[in-house]
A and B are shown apart, each in its own frame.
Chain A
Amino acid sequence: MRLHLGLAQMDPKLGDVQRNLEKHLAYIEQAAAQGVELLIFPELSMTGYQVNDLVPEVSIRASADDPVYAAMLDASRRTGMDIMFGFVHQDQRQRFYIADAYLSGGETLHIHHKVYLCTYGMFDEARYFDAGDQVRAFDTRFGRVGMAICEDFWHISTPYLLWMDGADILLLNSASPSRGLDASDKFSGSRWVELVNMAYASFFTGFVVHCNRVGYEDGKNFWGGSSVVDPNGEMLLGGDYFDESLHTITIDLNELHRTRSRLPLLRDERPELVQRELERILARNNR
Chain B
Amino acid sequence: MSAHTPFEAERARIAHKLTINPDIATKVLTGFIKDEIHKAGMKRAVLGLSGGIDSAVSAYLSALALGPENVLAVRMPYKSSSADSLSDADAVIQALGLQHLTVEITGMADPLFAQFPEMSNGRKGNIMARLRMTVLYDQSVAFGGLVMGTSNKTELLLGYSTVYGDSGVALQPIGDLYKTQLRQLAAALGVPQSLQVKPPSADLWEGQTDEGELGFTYADVDQVLYLLVDERYTLDEVAEEGFDAKFVRDVWRRVKANHYKRTMPNIAKLSQRTIGHDFLFLRDWA
A-B pairs with the 8 shortest C-beta distances?
A183-B19, A216-B35, A52-B280, A218-B282, A53-B280, A221-B28, A218-B284, A218-B283
Chain A nearest CB from B29 CB (Å) reads 9
Q: Is B31 an interface residue (CB 8 A)?
A: yes
Residue contact A185 to B280, C-beta cutoff 8 Å: no
Given the known interface contacts A54-B281, A182-B19, A217-B282, the answer about A187 and B32 at a Cβ–Cβ threshold of 8 Å is: no
Chain A nearest CB from B140 CB (Å) reads 20
- In the assembled complex, the Cα of A241 lies from the Cα of B28 at a distance in Å of 10
Per-position 1/0 for A48-79, Cβ under 8 A of B:
00101110000000000000000000000000
B residues near A (Cβ < 8 Å) are 16-17, 19-21, 24-25, 27-28, 31-32, 35-36, 172, 279-285
User: CB < 8 Å: which of B17, B21, B285 contacts A14?
Assistant: B285
**DSSP class of B's interface residues: helix, strand, loop or mixed?**
helix
Contacting residues, chain B, for A54 (C-beta < 8 A): 281, 285
Residue contact B31 to A53, C-beta cutoff 8 Å: no
15 contacts between A and B (CB under 8 A): A14-B285, A52-B281, A52-B282, A53-B279, A53-B281, A54-B285, A181-B20, A183-B16, A183-B19, A216-B31, A218-B284, A221-B28, A241-B27, A242-B27, A242-B28
Q: A216-B32, A217-B284 are in contact. List 16 more A-B contacts (CB 8 A).
A: A14-B282, A15-B285, A54-B285, A181-B21, A181-B24, A181-B25, A182-B19, A182-B20, A183-B16, A183-B20, A183-B21, A216-B36, A218-B284, A221-B28, A221-B31, A242-B31
**DSSP class of A's interface residues: helix, strand, loop or mixed?**
loop
Can you name the residue of chain A whose Cβ is closest to the Cβ of B16? A183
Can you name the residue of chain B whose Cβ is closest to the Cβ of A50? B282
- In the assembled complex, the Cα of A52 lies from the Cα of B284 at a distance in Å of 12
Chain B nearest CB from A121 CB (Å) reads 11
Residue contact A187 to B282, C-beta cutoff 8 Å: no
Per-position 1/0 for A211-231, Cβ under 8 A of B:
000011111010000000000
Given the known interface contacts A14-B284, A14-B285, A216-B36, the answer about A185 and B21 at a Cβ–Cβ threshold of 8 Å is: yes
Q: Is A186 an interface residue (CB 8 A)?
A: yes
Q: How many residues of A contact B (CB 8 A)?
A: 22
Chain A nearest CB from B9 CB (Å) reads 18
Contacting residues, chain B, for A187 (C-beta < 8 A): 24
Contacting residues, chain B, for A186 (C-beta < 8 A): 24
Contacting residues, chain B, for A14 (C-beta < 8 A): 282, 284-285
- In the assembled complex, the Cα of A242 lies from the Cα of B20 at a distance in Å of 17
Residue contact B280 to A184, C-beta cutoff 8 Å: no
Q: Which of B16, B21, B24 has the most CB of A within 10 A?
A: B24
Given the known interface contacts A182-B17, A183-B21, the answer about A215 and B35 at a Cβ–Cβ threshold of 8 Å is: yes
Contacting residues, chain B, for A108 (C-beta < 8 A): none
Contacting residues of chain A (170-228) with chain B, CB-CB under 8 angstroms: 178, 181-187, 215-219, 221
- In the assembled complex, the Cα of A270 lies from the Cα of B279 at a distance in Å of 50
Chain B nearest CB from A181 CB (Å) reads 5
